Amino acid sequence: MSAKQLIKSNVTTLNDKYLVLEEIRSIPHGTEYFVRSIIDNSTLVARVFHDFSLRSEAEYAGLEDQFFKARELESDRLQKPVELFKYLLSGQEFMFPVLVLAYPLGQSLRSFMKSQEYGIIPESTAGKIGFQLAEQMEILHKSGFTHGSLCPDSVYWDAENETVFVVQIPFLTGLEGPIFNEETNQKFYAAHEVWEGAEFNPGTDIYAFGCLLHEMLEGGPPYLGVDQKLEHFYADCPGLSGISGSMNSMILSCLNKKPQQRPKSFQLIGKKLKSYQKAKASVASGKKGGGSSILILLLLVAGGGGGWYAYNEFVEKPKKLQAQKKTASAPKPKVMVEEVVESEPLAEAVDVPNMVFYAGGEFQMGSPKGFADASFVHTVKLSPFYLDKTEVTHQEYFDFVQSGMGLPPVSKNPRFSLWKNEAPLPTVLRQPVIHVPWEMARAYCNSLEKRLPTEAEWEFAARGKESRDWPWGQDDPHPVKAQFDMEWSGDQTIYEVDFFKSGVNPEGVFNLIGGVREWVQDWYSPDYYESSPLENPTGPKSGDMRVIRGSSWEQAAEPLYSRDFMAPEDSDNLTGFRCAKSL
């Protein structure tokens, strides 16, 4: 009789301390059980590796090292290892290891989903679960562990306290893996490279996270076909309808077939989910004006596709949906907004058309309110420079392409393309150009004897010496100041580069948040701020990603100290650019 059969056929105690209650699942080299402590009657989890024979003390010592490493994890929401010991069943020749772990709090995500209508979790709750899960996964990865089995059974949700608890973590890596078994539920969450035999890594956990987010919001993982291997290799997830563009983009980026194009870490995923949660909470709370403000904002959102209603001193504009039913050449409806008087120039300089002169000087870059990559506040001193008042438009970039010096924008998805036959649609000429990779953005600026701004120059212009959170000051973002948190509506999505006159900075620079994000010159490094030089920092000497600043029409409005990044060869419908020039 095997060790597992002996355990199942007897009321077995382990180490005279734990009574075996119920089998949970099969694991590499054994079985996981619910057990009860004989000492204090508490319920725990025991991984019994009954098919693994300990041959030496050195072998067991190696497992102990991994056990103590897991014990050092600084989180009470990752299933905590309690005890590791050797066990010998009667009649067996060799001892085998047993790992005892804390009992998870709450109920499994799978169980929680079953309690919801149609098995779907509301987007706000899914966002909270996703953010907390990303936090825990980042802790796990930083400690050198990979999960490998993220699914609704490995995440517990304490709904009363709104707390996530992560289980099924393979702590004894030399024994447990993680190991891929296509006969288990892993097949619904495993990236194609795992099917090809690659080892689990942070990137494959991020892919599984995307599948899990999809399942929470849709009631099932993205691929449900019989041949899961084929689907993870070749099938494209179409995304979900009825959820925000920000959440949809998060899921699709995690599910990217190219591992290098998925989010680089759970820290960055958590950053985006936290920003999304804060934006939703801000709208829900109606903190500027109480209940009537909520009603107004709900009316605003009804405009759809990038359109908003202005109110009080503003003239009501037609719904964007009505505008879309007109001919493709119909002009975009406008909102009448008050003009902002530009402040006096900071210093005398040669006038450069469509550019603002900055005399430079010292400012504090970063913010303690920011995420880790932007939270280190440091002094920066800049030389004088110019910055474009507006982002580069489709018309301006088209002129560059026509000159033979540049390539037209290319969208990977025809749905998001605003160019036809290598020319922009007539309705988008004054909108910021999108789908331009970093190298082409740099080439455009160079063709005008300009350059991309450094990250420090961009933040100096956006935040000023007074370290504003927003271009206009400290007042919260408002839809008459910037375009954010919207849905794609083709050529009617993004507003003209000089549209939001009430959202400019004191020097009259437009769209430093909203509209499109912007390429800057620097390579990205999450800890660059800690080693940044005092004068004219230009970023790390090399890297894989280039920095992007600002937030886009689709995203929640993020404060001006926030940072993002993208591979320089990539482009998307969220990102454009503007140029700078040295004095």
Average pLDDT, the chain: 85
| The pLDDT of residue 322 is above 80 | no
| Cα 148 to Cα 109, 117, 128, 170, 333, distances in angstroms | 17, 29, 22, 8, 50
Q: What is the pLDDT of residue 456?
A: 98
CATH class of this structure's domain 107-274: mainly alpha
pLDDT digits (tens, 9 = 90+) for 394-442: 999 999 999 999 999 999 888 899 999 999 999 999 999 999 999 999 9
% pLDDT > 70, the chain: 85
Nearby residues of 168 by Cβ (< 8 Å), 6 or more positions away: 25, 79, 147, 149, 153, 154
- What's the pLDDT score for residue 285? 42
- Lowest mean pLDDT across 186-200, 229-243, 286-300: 286-300
Amino acid identity, position 146: T
Tell me the C-alpha distance between 107 and 258, whole Å.
34
Kindly report which listed range (62-66, 343-347, 451-455) carries the lowest average pLDDT score: 343-347
- DSSP symbols for 516-533: -EEEEEEEP-TTGGGG--
Task: Place 357 in a pLDDT band, splitting at 50, 70 and 90.
Answer: very high
Instruction: From 444, 578, 561, select the one nearest 498 (Cα to Cα).
Output: 578
CATH class for the region spanning 350-582: alpha beta
Residue 10 — very low, low, confident or very high, per pLDDT cuts 50/70/90?
low
Q: How far apart are CA 402 and CA 404, in angstroms?
A: 5
CB 125 within 8 A of CB 281: no
Distance CA 567, CA 546 (A): 6
pTM of model > 0.75: no
Which CATH code is given to the segment(s) 3-101?
3.30.200.20
CA angle, residues 443, 552, 495, in degrees to nearest 5: 85
Work out the end-to-end distance of the chain between its first and last CA atoms, rounded to an integer number of angstroms: 84
Task: Say whether pLDDT at 327 is over 70.
Answer: no
Task: Tell me which residue of 86, 92, 85 sits closest to 3, measured CA to CA.
Answer: 92
pLDDT-derived band at 5, boundaries 50, 70, 90: low
- For the stretch 119-178, pLDDT in tens is 999 998 999 999 999 999 999 999 999 999 999 999 999 999 999 999 999 999 989 999
The per-residue pLDDT for range 361-393, each reduced to its tens digit, is 999 999 988 888 898 999 999 999 999 999 999
- Domain positions in the chain are 3-101, 107-274, 350-582
Bond prior to 238 in cis (omega within 30° of 0): no
Contact 523, 546 (CB under 8 A): yes
Structure tokens at 234: 């070749």
Query: What are 580's strand-pairing partners?
Result: 387, 451
Residue 82 is encoded by which pair of tokens? 């309690």
